[in-house]
Structure 1
Amino acid sequence: MTCPLSAPTIPHLLAAAAASFADLPAIEEGAQRLSYRQLDAARRQAARALLALGLEQGERVALWAPNAWEWIVAATALQSVGAVLVPLNTRMKGAEAGLVLRESGASLLFVIGEFLGTDYPALLDHEDLPDLRQRIILRGERDGCLGWETFLTLAEGVPESELAERESALSEDDLCDLLFTSGTTGKPKGVMTAHGQNLRLVRDWSEMVGLREGDRYLIVNPFFHSFGYKAGWLAALMRGCCILPQQVFDVPVLLERIARERVTVLPGPPTLYQSLLAHPQRDAHDLSSLRVAVTGAAAVPVEMVRRMRSELGFQTIVTAYGLTETCGFVTICRPGDDAETVATTSGRAFPGIEVRCADEQGRAVPAGQPGEVQVRGYNLMRGYFNNPEATAEAIDAEGWLHTGDVGVLDERGYLRITDRLKDMFINGGFNVYPAEIEQAILGYPGVAQAAVIGIPDERLGEVAMAFLLPAPGQRIDLDAFLAWCRERMANYKAPRRAMLLDALPLNAAGKVTKDALRKMAQSPA
């Protein structure tokens, strides 16, 4: 039997983990308890049910749900039959999800019935989805959709041998997922990555952060994001950890769960740790089980790292940097790095991965000099789905991925991200792309032109602010406009402020100067 650390594909990993970790707990969520053997049996049953539905290798299957045990079963099942996972952000509105479903050509959709008061299947009622032939409700029932239990019974008509044949046809070079990133064009791009490259990265990541068999891993990061998926449940299953899914970031609930469930591993954005440190009831909870923290995606104060060690008891604290286009992994700090290194850098490159900072001519700049962060190695995506032009723009002839981030490498090879060539900003750990918001805003009645920037926000890091140029003779009510945005955009994208302008500031090339907008944003309202 293959060792989990050397499995070539995700279904091979699940089978190897079942053999290696057997009756150890794999997932605990509420009353639901699954051992590694039970998880593998559930995966195989769901995979056979997918075969009963006629799912072919290479088809795309979308998953739209919060962190839950069924998410992992559904994802590993579809990957077991050679299908490609397309995770959907639970904050998306119907139009946003519909666009990704059309762009990916997804033929099946696993979807939660209701979450935080939203009826997810109903969000797609008015979407044209010609490729989508089946919907499966993970929790709840809906007309025209298969319930989870009903779906699983379909496995009875498919022998194990048929699944074994499909699994044996899979190789490390087959695609395992298609994660969509909005980019700066405003149109989502599907990032294609394969089984083998992801598993190699997950093996190295889990070794560097020190995941251990029996660790209790509370996963707050969403499963639809590479942090919660690849550095989350996939890494946990490779190392024999127990996955503790958490659907909502709620500090009192986190404190209670850490104490009650003896959590040892707790990655998350800096906001998570700042919230734990600031909570007035923190000392009432026993947090002594905590050992490993992994963060990134925003500035990290040095003092916060020190307090995480002294007050929260973390032994290992690392920061990391990655992109969807790199399977989520590029650089990472190493255990033992001092607080200043952890707080002010994103670590150094993973083994087998090259990172450089380059000037506008594509030449590497010396240590200590800023340049565009470029990455080369086995972790690079297989390209953007159905978009060879964008792929060629992103990866040059020498194999370097141009990230659009500006950074500095020190003499040790540690990377510090200093700026973004593109205008992307980060809201509560989520990447936000102004061009996507600008494109959506142009659908608002009376708007002739729009520009969006990120402005500082104490709680979320940055939030969107929109600048609007009304069409001639049109009046725009800003409160009504902001409400319209909230109804149509995920909350991390929706502008929190807006300003009307007589003209947008332009440079000599006719492009909006975002620096001028930032100065306007700082002026009194």
Structure 2
Amino acid sequence: MILKRLSTLSQKVSKSVTRNFSSSKIHKTATASYIHRVEDDPLKFLTFGQCLKNIANRYPDREAIVSCAENSSITFAEALDKSDRLASGLLNLGLNKGDRVGIWSPNYEFWYISMMAMARAGLICVALNPAYTVPELEYCIKKVDIKAIIAPEVFRKQKHYNMLTSLIPDMANSKSGSNDWDNTKSSLKKVIIKSDKKLPGAIQYDDLIGLASEADLKSVEDIQSTISPDSGCNVQFSSGTTGKPKAALLSHFSMINNGYDVGLRHEFHKMHARVCLNNPLFHVYGCIISIANALCHGATLVFPAPHFSPEDSLKAIVKENCNVIYGTPTMFVDLVAKQKELNINLPQIELANTGGSICTPQLVKDVVNVLNVKKFKSVYGLTETSAVVFQSLPEDANESVEEFVGACNSHLEVKIVDKDGNSVPFGQPGELWVRGYSTMLGYWNDPEKTNEVLGSDKWFKTGDQFILYENGYGKVSGRLKEMIIRGGENLFPREIEDFLNTHDNILETHVVGIPDDRMGEEVAAFIRLEDNTKPVTRDDIKKFCHGKLAHFKVPRYVIVVDEFPRTVSGKIQKFRFTEVFADKLKEAIGNKS
């Protein structure tokens, strides 16, 4: 039955590929899994700042952003004006081209404006997860020498301003509206807070925008030609097996062209897309698949809430007449469940797009039928490839997202190799390597880690086990890395393991991903105790992690074991955990259900 279904899907995909690849050339070899997709449409040598100016001239009165929680919206013309005013403010603070500025916030209008302002000022935007704890934030600041941070005063339980004062104690004793404190211990010199309050040691975001003169705006426009599309634009933190996040530097060129290609596959050039955006802006999904795409094609991004809220999203779809929905599979599971509960009269949705993991057949049916979606598409990629490497084509059958991650992107080369780096035949599994315009410039100030994944031949080693077909389609068949994908968040066990091992009664920790219907995977920590007479429970671990590890990294399941399965050479066999510890795991899952 499964083989028959796969065969049917392959036939549907093949027909779709024939229709959609008619205007492009696919270069491939007869004996090896290698494809190079070439398009007549050339790559665009543009910066984010130039794209914003172009789209503002083309659609000055079209909404760029709608922020439902803030009850606000701005047009592309207004976005350009605000961005230039903030850009001039940042430059007047003494920041220089190439300096790193962090945005530490959930989805607000000022996130979008701040990113655009940095692009217009020639600064590098550092996207920071708003759930970061103080130690995680401090690591990021030091890693890339962040000079300034823009953040809300508080969001839910995250008191951003107070957390920053714990890093910089002198802030609290400084004058409001100024950064006259002396922070000699780190690179951070400026703190900009979005708040109605005048907070000690911080500059008000609105004040910084309001200070710009016409001469300042002209100066920002004058420097646009001096900002190279090849220069760094955005730093994305990507966790690694060393236990510490790596800072991937992406260029204007890679991000703009990747976003443009996503929009073409979504056929945004044929409609005014109004996108209900559920994904966080700090992720490449937000920065590239959403923002860069929207800039290239004049799409409107609707923020239903600062953080994902299924009910708010459904209401925003109706109120703002959204015709596109973006989200991870987990988000779509929650949207479907909430729609079944509320039964809102949803408009026809032209397209829903997801990424992060393969969708189940039931989820595909539910998205189409319950959310009133015509086309359900998927993307696959990595932070280091400026988001997307494979994605669905416009006429693909909705069912294709159950098995395939789409077709190879335009202007990219992909190949599948064995453990020795030799290409394998089409249809055989191996590691996916990618080469082209979208690969990162490198990990910030880390040539050793960069060289591990990006060779002198410019092939980027993804670490994902993949199968490539002659028609240009591919699917993930496993992971060579130990990455856990939980609700679209990429988690790496080593970081969690290293932290849990600092517990005074934990001798050894190993973390694995456990399949979960809603989240895709959940985090399970298998631990050996130093003293078995002192039990360690999941609640104990939760308290231990509080304020030190982001909430999504905290293990949902904690299983205490006496020993781990190992090879004869002593290496841990994680792939055997679910088999060897089946009873303990079943009990842990049962206790949480």
- The alignment's TM-score, normalised by the length of structure 2, stands at 0.84
Q: Within 2, Cα distance between the matches of 1:436 and 1:260?
A: 42
Cross-structure match for 1:400: 459
1:490 aligns with 2:490: no
Decide which moves more: 176-185 or 234-243. 234-243
How many Å apart are 1:388 and its aligned residue?
0.5
Cross-structure match for 1:176: 233
1:221 aligns with 2:279: yes
Task: Summarize the alignment of residues 288-367 of structure 1 with structure 2, pairs less than 5 Å apart.
Answer: 288-367=347-426
How many Å apart are 1:520 and its aligned residue?
4.0
- Give the secondary structure class of the aligned counterpart of 2:212: helix
How many Å apart are 1:158 and its aligned residue?
5.7
Cross-structure match for 1:132: 188
Q: Within 2, Cα distance between the matches of 1:277 and 1:50?
A: 42
How many Å apart are 1:275 and its aligned residue?
2.5
1:16 aligns with 2:76: no
User: Taking every aligned residue pair, what percent have the same amino acid on both sides?
Assistant: 29
- Evaluate the alpha carbon distance shift between residue 518 and residue 164 of structure 1 in structure 2; reply closer, same or farther with a 3 A threshold: same
Cα deviation, 1:40-89, whole Å, max 9, x if unaligned, reads 10001000101110110111000001111111111110121111110111
How many Å apart are 1:474 and its aligned residue?
7.9
2:101·2:146 contact (CA, 8 Å) conserved in 1?
A: yes
1:165 aligns with 2:222: yes
- Give the secondary structure class of the aligned counterpart of 2:433: strand
How many Å apart are 1:521 and its aligned residue?
4.2
What amino acid does structure 1 have at the position aligned with 2:131?
A: R
Cross-structure match for 1:443: 502
Cα deviation, 1:116-161, whole Å, max 9, x if unaligned, reads 2321122234337610001101234332111112222342396233
Q: Within 1, Cα distance between the matches of 2:568 and 2:444?
A: 35
Aligned positions, number: 521
Gaps of 5+ in 1: none
- Give the secondary structure class of the aligned counterpart of 2:553: coil
- Evaluate the alpha carbon distance shift between residue 185 and residue 474 of structure 1 in structure 2; reply closer, same or farther with a 3 A threshold: farther
2:354·2:377 contact (CA, 8 Å) conserved in 1?
A: yes
Task: Summarize the alignment of residues 463-474 of structure 1 with structure 2, pairs less than 5 Å apart.
Answer: 463-471=522-530
How many Å apart are 1:437 and its aligned residue?
0.4
How many Å apart are 1:277 and its aligned residue?
2.7
1:446·1:474 contact (CA, 8 Å) conserved in 2?
A: no
Cross-structure match for 1:252: 311
- Give the secondary structure class of the aligned counterpart of 1:419: strand
Cross-structure match for 1:27: 65
Cα deviation, 1:173-205, whole Å, max 9, x if unaligned, reads 111011110111111111011111211111111
- Give the secondary structure class of the aligned counterpart of 1:176: strand
What amino acid does structure 1 have at the position aligned with 2:578?
A: R
1:195 aligns with 2:252: yes
Gaps of 5+ in 2: 1-42, 169-184, 588-593
How many Å apart are 1:322 and its aligned residue?
0.4
Cross-structure match for 1:512: 572
- Give the secondary structure class of the aligned counterpart of 1:451: strand
- Evaluate the alpha carbon distance shift between residue 415 and residue 9 of structure 1 in structure 2; reply closer, same or farther with a 3 A threshold: same
Structural RMSD (CA): 2.0
- Give the secondary structure class of the aligned counterpart of 1:266: strand
Higher relative contact order (CA 8 A, sep 6+): 2
- Evaluate the alpha carbon distance shift between residue 325 and residue 464 of structure 1 in structure 2; reply closer, same or farther with a 3 A threshold: same
Q: Within 1, Cα distance between the matches of 2:86 and 2:330?
A: 36
Cross-structure match for 1:96: 136
Q: Within 2, Cα distance between the matches of 1:490 and 1:322?
A: 23
1:231 aligns with 2:289: yes
- Give the secondary structure class of the aligned counterpart of 2:65: strand
Cross-structure match for 2:261: 204
How many Å apart are 1:455 and its aligned residue?
1.4
Cross-structure match for 2:515: 456
Cross-structure match for 2:84: 44
How many Å apart are 1:428 and its aligned residue?
0.9
What amino acid does structure 2 have at the position aligned with 1:299?
A: I
1:209·1:316 contact (CA, 8 Å) conserved in 2?
A: no
- Evaluate the alpha carbon distance shift between residue 472 and residue 288 of structure 1 in structure 2; reply closer, same or farther with a 3 A threshold: closer
- The alignment's TM-score, normalised by the length of structure 1, stands at 0.94
Cα deviation, 1:335-355, whole Å, max 9, x if unaligned, reads 111233222100111111112
